[in-house]
Amino acid sequence: CLWVRNDHRGLVITGVVVDDFVITGSTDKACKAFVDELMSAWDCTFLGDLEWCINLLTKRNRKEDIMTIDQAEYIDDIVHRFSMSDAAPIYTPADPNVRLSQSMVPANDEQRRKMQNIPYAPAVGSVLYTRLTRIDCLAAISDVVRFMWFM
């Protein structure tokens, strides 16, 4: 959920994920007032600058006015979870010569039984989330998601 407040102290934008708040604003005064109001209304803990939120690592360089968002650790977790640690790395998100098609879908009961042991949907769901920071993978991820409808 995203909340926006604009008053005489400045603009405050708050992202809420379950019980975690991420707060940013146009002025330090507006952010501090908002945090103080939250802490007076609820039992809250202020953890300082954002570092991790929903599997996104954020790094901020205030001196250079740069913020980066990274999912490398999340991607490494996916690789390990689906036993792909020994897979050879590639430098493109997908082989441009491979096209997914209906002919690749399990055609008989034996093939379907074999596919039951392959966590295709959970793997695709996990990789789908990486599109937030890996825009270069978006086309390949979209193809795989569309292919799921054939499964």
Long-range contacts from 34-37, C-beta under 8 angstroms, 24+ separation: 34/5
pLDDT of 6 higher than 80: yes
The amino acid sitting at 103 is S
Per-residue pLDDT tens over the stretch 65-122:
898 988 989 999 999 999 999 988 877 778 878 888 888 888 889 988 888 888 888 9
pLDDT of 149 higher than 70: no
Single pTM value for the model: 0.68
Closest CA to 149 of 120, 114, 117: 120
